[in-house]
Amino acid sequence: MNARLSGPEQAPVLVLSNSMGTTTAMWDDQLEALSRHHRVLRYDHRGHGGAGPPPGPYRMEQLGGDLLGLLDELELERVSFCGLSLGGMVGMWLAANAPGRVERLALCCTSAKVDPGPYLERAAKVRAGGTGSVAGEVVERWFTPGFRERAPETVARAVAMLLATPAEGYAGCCEAIAAMDLRAGLGSIAAPTLVVAGGDDPATPPAHAEAIVAAIPAARLEVVAGAAHLANIEQPQRVTRLLLDHLSPSAT
């Protein structure tokens, strides 16, 4: 696993977990602000970040176990956690299955259960033709049309992350998402939880976030207008402020 730490060594640790098809670079817009108050740990999911992927299919408990192993290796007993999309799914698994390890939780543009069909279809397509075969449809979910038009360089950097993702790693994570159902564990999550939805997210619409908030006892919802699936890139200032307010109350 590719992992990196930033920020003051004695500060509380915050884990940032990526979406499928991206790398730690997806958090570049948040890193400086979050690193003022936290020791920020960014890492890549298995099969991402250019590393040779283990053969899929993967399962959510494997992705969560990868993170637990990393926390153990770094001797980090308790952390705050922020994950987007696949990263948020890992965060829900972690907070439900290892509650003592999670101080505060932020879940962005994610879901506890999805229709498996499209993800299984995408896994097959990527294994046959690489991540480039799905780049067009993925970018349409990642960003609104207006953002794609006014910020082509930012979109191109995101596409480059997707194209650099090994096909087997991407497909294996598609299969992990298709197989997951995290709903039964949500009621046991005790960590104070912020759930962020992109107002224009076609991949995990606000209704998915509402279902998560209804199930987690200590959760609240924020909908970010003018953002699709990668809300932290499309509306970086708004998302950064929400995260700071939730994860670093002293920074408000």
Q: What is the pLDDT confidence band of residue 51, given thresholds at 50, 70 and 90? A: low
| 93 in Cβ contact with 68 (< 8 Å) | no
Residue 176 to residue 164: CA distance in whole angstroms: 20
> How many CA atoms lie less than 13 Å away from 246 in the CB half-sphere?
27
Find how far residue 144's CA is from the centre of its chain. 18
Residue 24 to residue 169: CA distance in whole angstroms: 15
| 176 in Cβ contact with 46 (< 8 Å) | no
Helices (H), 1-129: 28-35, 60-73, 86-97, 116-129
Q: What single string gives the DSSP state of each residue in 146-197?
A: HHHHH-HHHHHHHHHHHHTS-HHHHHHHHHHHHH---HHHHTT--S-EEEEE
Amino acid at 186: L
Q: What is the pLDDT confidence band of residue 252, given thresholds at 50, 70 and 90? A: very low
3 state SS of 108: strand
3 state SS of 217: coil
Task: Report whether pLDDT(251) > 70.
Answer: no
Q: What is the pLDDT confidence band of residue 250, given thresholds at 50, 70 and 90? A: low
Find how far residue 137's CA is from the centre of its chain. 19
- The fraction of the chain above a pLDDT of 90, given in percent, is 95
pTM equals 0.96
Q: What is the pLDDT confidence band of residue 46, given thresholds at 50, 70 and 90? A: very high
Query: Which tokens sit at 20?
Result: 């499928």
Q: What is the pLDDT confidence band of residue 249, given thresholds at 50, 70 and 90? A: low
pLDDT in tens, 217-245: 989 999 999 999 999 999 999 999 999 99
Number of structural domains the chain divides into: 1
E strand or H helix that includes residue 223: strand 219-224
Q: Which domain holds residue 154?
A: 3-251
CATH number, position 138: 3.40.50.1820
| 186 in Cβ contact with 210 (< 8 Å) | no
pLDDT in tens, 163-188: 999 999 999 999 999 999 999 999 99
